[in-house]
Amino acid sequence: MNPIEHSPGLVVNIATPDLKLSDFRLIAFDMDSTLINIECVDEIADAVGRKAEVAAITEAAMRGEITDFKDSLRRRVALLKGVSVASMDEVYRERLKLNPGTAELVRACKDAGLKVLLVSGGFTFFADRVKELLDIDYMRANVLEIENGMLTGRLVDQPWGDICDGEEKRRMLIQTCGQLGINPLQAIAMGDGANDLPMMGAAGLSVAYHAKPKVREQAMVAINAGGLDRLLELMK
């Protein structure tokens, strides 16, 4: 079907006669620019005067113009060398905000019996705090290496692999569904960048939030104006 503007800024690319939250068991969220208002890596880079350089790589990666997300992330993290943990704390305190409707949507999902998963190509330094703030059930993100209170410009390998890229997001979604004993079609996946497309493709309902053009086109639902809780306008 052709995309239908359900109401201003809410585009539906599929026939959704009777979508109900209770038909789903899991909702998976990207973090940067989806649950929260910033790209953390860009804001950390500001502390060493490299925001423009890092943000240009982030934008190209999110638009899908850089296909190797792992390489693009390593390049950006290398530019963060020398940033202090104190500077990162400042980014969290002064710049990081939940996007409009985030808390409302997460609460509505939990009330409907869904588990919540945060999967981020960003960093546990922020994702751990967002997880706690929103009482999120599962999380996967990247670990920045810190020595003597400073970033080394490297990431720490984890038991599941080195970097949470698009393929890892998809794997984590499927693995979490397996843990819950559900079909991935009982999952909702929400994101804004090209690295969210693999998990969005595996889920039963994919939602683009203020997303890059490529992601808006491929998602079943696109929220182009307003908060995350606009998804609830479609769900009984």
pLDDT digits (tens, 9 = 90+) for 175-222: 999 999 999 999 999 999 999 999 999 999 999 999 999 999 999 999
65 falls within a domain = no
85 falls within a domain = no
pLDDT at 1 over 60: no
126 falls within a domain = yes
Tracing tokens 């490529």 back to the chain, one arrives at 214
% pLDDT > 70, the chain: 98
pLDDT for residue 6: 74
**How many structural domains are present in the chain?**
1
53 falls within a domain = no
Q: 0.85 cut: is pTM over it?
A: yes
44 falls within a domain = no
pLDDT for residue 5: 73
Name the token pair of 166: 């698009």
Catalytic residues: 30, 32
170 falls within a domain = yes
Segments forming the whole domain that contains residue 124: 4-37+98-233
pLDDT for residue 17: 59
CATH number for the domain that contains residue 194: 3.40.50.1000
206, 200 contact by CB (below 8 A): yes
How confident is residue 16, by pLDDT bands cut at 50, 70 and 90?
low
pLDDT at 108 over 70: yes
83 falls within a domain = no
148 falls within a domain = yes
Tell whether the torsion through CA atoms of 199, 80, 138 and 36 is positive or negative: negative
Name the token pair of 175: 């693995």
pLDDT at 19 over 90: no
